[in-house]
Amino acid sequence: MKQPSIRRQLMIWVIGALCVCAPVLVLVAYLLALTEIDEVLDDSLRQTAMLLADRDLAGTFPTKPTVGFAPYGDTQSMLVAVARRPDGGLMFSSQPEISLNFAPTPGASIQTANGARWHVFTVVQSDRVIQVAQPVAARREGAAESASQLLLPLLLLIALVGGLLVFALRRGIKPLDDLNAALSQLRETALTPLEAREVPVEMLPLVHTLNDLLRRLEQAFEAQRNFVADAAHELRSPVTALQLQVQLLERCTDQATQAAATAELSAGIARTRHLIEQLLFLSRTAAEDGERNPLPHERVRLDDLARAAVVRLSPQAEQRCIDLGANVALEASVEGDQLQLEILVSNLVDNALRYTPQGGIVDVVVDLVERAPTLRVVDNGAGVPEAERLRVFDRFYRSPHAPALSEIGSGLGLAIVKAIADRHGAVVSLHAGPDGIGLEARVVFPAPG
């Protein structure tokens, strides 16, 4: 299909409109000229007939027939005069070579004689009928001739308008070309907004939208750059630690220290692996956008997820002598991605277990708050100071108040929880636990519509 073009469209419409209007204009000019000619020549017929009626024809008419005068210098527009006696006998004809038998209708009439139509003006007197006539065709020709004089100026006008249009369109479309040039010069590293000062008003919305897009792109690139930089930075520490542990292992001489160093090394590898997995998951979840990659519309039982997480993480809880339980009295289902929601619950329970001292209590509660399915993970650990309860959702942010035992953390768990909650339209927040002790992580899902 041919690419649509504003320039071509405008040319087609304007030149097309002119080409349609030009014949209409000529037709109107023709009709106006015909009316005008009719008026003038009807009057002229009447005056000529009256003039003849006043005369003594025997004395004034020439003995030799004469041709009538031609008002436009055109022999076809001649006037013909005929005089007849009341019994119809011809007294006089200015065109004796053609037989013109007009009916003696007084005044102006249109009649057919000698195979042609005539405008006739008749004066009936007691002793004679005087008629002055003119062919209808003669008047039409006169009108057509005067209208046709418009044709050339009109054609010139169309050519002139076409030329001006090409010029005006070139000038009018130039801002688009300029915009295109400005856009093509942008680099992803420098997405400066487009200059809107000299842009025509019609293009302002486009420029504003593009600038808005550029701003969001810049932010996205910035976020991407930060993410990569942060990730590289965060990966460096565990890898350096691994290197040190390997060196340590190499230097070990006795079996006992070697075993300890090996255990350290494998814990370090586990930590690095955990970090890489979290990073990968976060970059994938944060990059997914709702339109191109919509969430599956499956119903996920939040209560089942909570129970499963408790079962899954029980060994970890037992190891740390933490009383981990699920308080799930009712069915609560949400719409979304089962795997992502599992990760959300796991991350919250994992935090609670990790940051609660031995002998603590962790409860996973699912209920409906004003019909909204709500998940709460409550612990009686150290909690997060109120001032930090928003910051802990930032990537790589780890509270300086966190207990030392939590060193395996990478500071990505809550960022992942937030990314998943956002994708599910849920709101995640941190609160102080019961009686101000510990932490309550709360995720409120949208109430079913």
Asked whether position 426 contacts ligand ATP by CB under 6 A, the answer is no
Question: Looking at 27-35, 41-49, 79-87, 376-384, which segment touches ligand ATP (CB under 6 A)?
Answer: 376-384
Minimum distance from residue 255 beta carbon to ligand ATP (Å) = 32
CB of 216 to ligand ATP, least distance (A): 26
Identity of the residue, 363 or 379, whose beta carbon is nearer to ligand ATP in the bound complex: 379
Could you say which residues in the range 278-297 bind ligand ATP, by CB under 6 A? 278
Number of CB atoms found within 10 A of residue 348's CB = 27
Nearer Cβ to ligand ATP, position 374 or 399?
Answer: 399
Q: How many residues in the shown chain lie near ligand ATP by CB under 6 A? A: 23
411 touches ligand ATP by CB under 6 A: yes
> Closer to ligand ATP at the Cβ: 118 or 281?
281
Indicate whether 413 belongs to the interface with Mg ion (CB under 5 A): yes
Among 48, 134, 340, 399, binds ligand ATP (CB under 6 A): 399
Report how far residue 32's alpha carbon sits from residue 38's, in angstroms, rounded to the nearest whole number. Answer: 10
**Which residue, 322 or 415, is less far from ligand ATP as judged by CB?**
415
Partner touching 120 among Mg ion, ligand ATP, none, CB below 5 to 8 Å by kind? none
Could you say which of Mg ion, ligand ATP, none residue 93 binds, taking C-beta under 5 to 8 angstroms by partner kind? none
Of 120 and 419, which has the nearer Cβ to ligand ATP? 419
Cα 102 to Cα 108, 128, 189: the distances in Å are: 12, 13, 96
Which residue's CB is nearer to Mg ion, number 268 or number 413?
413
The residues in 328-357 that bind ligand ATP, with binding defined as CB under 6 A, are 347, 351-352, 355
Q: Which of residues 254-283 bind ligand ATP (CB under 6 A)?
A: 278
Task: Examine residue 356 and tell whether it contacts Mg ion (CB under 5 A).
Answer: no
Q: Which stretch binds Mg ion (CB under 5 A): 208-216, 236-244, 413-421, 432-440?
A: 413-421
Contacted entry of ligand ATP, Mg ion, none for residue 352, CB cut-off 5 to 8 Å set by kind: ligand ATP
Residues 249 and 261: beta-carbon distance below 8 Å: yes
Candidates 122, 278, 285, 351; binder of Mg ion (CB under 5 A) is: 351
Q: How far is the CB of 412 from Mg ion (least distance, A)?
A: 7
Q: Which residues bind to Mg ion, rule: CB under 5 A?
A: 351, 413
Q: Which residues bind to ligand ATP, rule: CB under 6 A?
A: 278, 347, 351-352, 355, 379, 381-384, 392, 397-399, 402, 409-415, 439
